[in-house]
């Protein structure tokens, strides 16, 4: 099993919503989703993990790599609703990542109301491949 993702533009930020299992087989799909987000915005990217069931070490490395790629592009990566185990341990070269308890908390920190985010413009969605 792999992941599904959807990128939504909301005001001056992007929301990359990820669901499923971010494991070795899905890390490349996540990397592609981050590339999509990088090419289509200028502000922070919030990775919404509300629907993510779990992640592997490879999945966590993919998130750290995404933070590096976005930082190279002058953008930052923020995480919302990390999996319950909370075991994200970025490596020493990883740029700082803000971690929010929920997507609503992340949006509130950026002055975006939750209702507005639900109406944001989705620009791409990738289906699950089992």
pLDDT tens string 35-61? 999 998 889 999 999 999 988 889 989
Query: Of the ranges 4-13, 69-78, 85-94, which one carries the lowest mean pLDDT score?
Result: 85-94
What is the C-alpha separation between 62 and 126, in angstroms, rounded?
17
More confident: 128 or 9:
9
pTM to 2 decimal places:
0.85
What pLDDT band is residue 96 in, cutting at 50, 70 and 90?
confident
What pLDDT band is residue 114 in, cutting at 50, 70 and 90?
low
Whether 126 has a pLDDT exceeding 80, the answer reads no
Task: Label residue 45 exposed, middle or buried (CB < 10 Å: 0-12, 13-18, 19+).
Answer: buried
Predicted local distance difference test score (pLDDT) of residue 119: 45
């Amino acid at each position: 099993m792999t992941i599904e993702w959807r990128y939504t533009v909301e005001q001056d930020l992007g929301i990359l919503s990820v669901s499923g299992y971010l494991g070795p087989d899905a890390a490349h799909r996540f990397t592609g989703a981050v590339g999509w987000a990088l090419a289509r915005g200028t502000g922070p990217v919030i990775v919404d993990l509300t629907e993510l069931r779990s992640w592997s070490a490879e999945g966590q490395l993919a998130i750290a790599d995404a933070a590096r790629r976005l930082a190279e592009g002058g953008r930052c990566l923020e995480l919302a609703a990390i999996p319950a185990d909370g075991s994200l341990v970025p490596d020493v070269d990883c740029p700082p990542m803000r971690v929010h308890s929920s997507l609503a908390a992340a949006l509130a920190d950026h002055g975006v109301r939750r209702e507005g985010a639900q109406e944001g413009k989705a620009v791409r969605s990738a289906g699950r491949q089992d």
